[in-house]
Amino acid sequence: MNITFHGVDGRCPHFLAPNGVNYIIRDQKVGSDYQYYLTADSHKPKVLKFESNDDVDAFIDGKTDRRRYSVAKIDDKIGYFMNHVTIIKENKTVTLRYTPDVVSGMFESYVDCLNFAKEYVAGEIEQFDMMQNRQMDMTEFFTQINNKSEEEWERE
């Protein structure tokens, strides 16, 4: 499989795999240099609509209760930033944006990180394909079992 990471308009290079995971190579400034690491974003944002502002506030209170978070207001949106999720409140709508998982350590070279990323993603896709094939085999097996008549079961 041809695994090519693309970065457009200054965005971090990414690859959307067939398993629905978006793999992203990110950079981080360390001293005067940059280091690179791979993340996997498998969560799509969830949008929840509520009937009242009280329902929105109760939901957010439940999510933030006894957790560390920071709050920022931008225009008519309020963001609650936690470790693995950002909750964005806009009127009676709440959007949950999940933080991507870090799947590698830091690399001093972008090329080293890219080579690791291609290898890692290829392995993940291969594993996904094996699971899909195994699932199809099991589906076929159960279909055959369900289609047997009582006479065929009695013969066995």
Domain membership of residue 39 as a residue range: 14-143
Instruction: Quote the tokens at residue 61.
Output: 């209170």
Inside any domain, residue 2:
no
Q: Is residue 24 part of a domain?
A: yes
Interacting residues of 44 by C-beta distance below 8 A, sequence separation 6+: none
CB within 8 Å of 68: residues ≥ 6 apart: 82, 83
Total domain count for the chain?
Answer: 1
Please check whether residue 150 lies inside any domain of the structure.
no
148 has a pLDDT exceeding 60:
no
Q: Which of 31, 32, 27, 22 is nearest to 10 (CA)?
A: 27
Residue 7 CB neighbours (<10 A):
11
**Does the residue 1 lie in any domain?**
no
CB 41 within 8 A of CB 22: yes
**Rounded (5°) CA angle 45-88-11:** 60
Does a structural domain hold residue 19? yes
Quick check: is 156 in a domain?
no
pLDDT of 36-89, one tens digit each? 999 998 878 889 999 998 999 999 998 888 888 888 998 889 999 988 889 999
pTM of the model: 0.63
| Residue 3 included in any domain | no
Q: How far apart are CA 12 and CA 118, in angstroms?
A: 15
Q: Is residue 71 part of a domain?
A: yes
Q: How much is the mean pLDDT over the chain?
A: 85
Predicted pLDDT at 75: 87
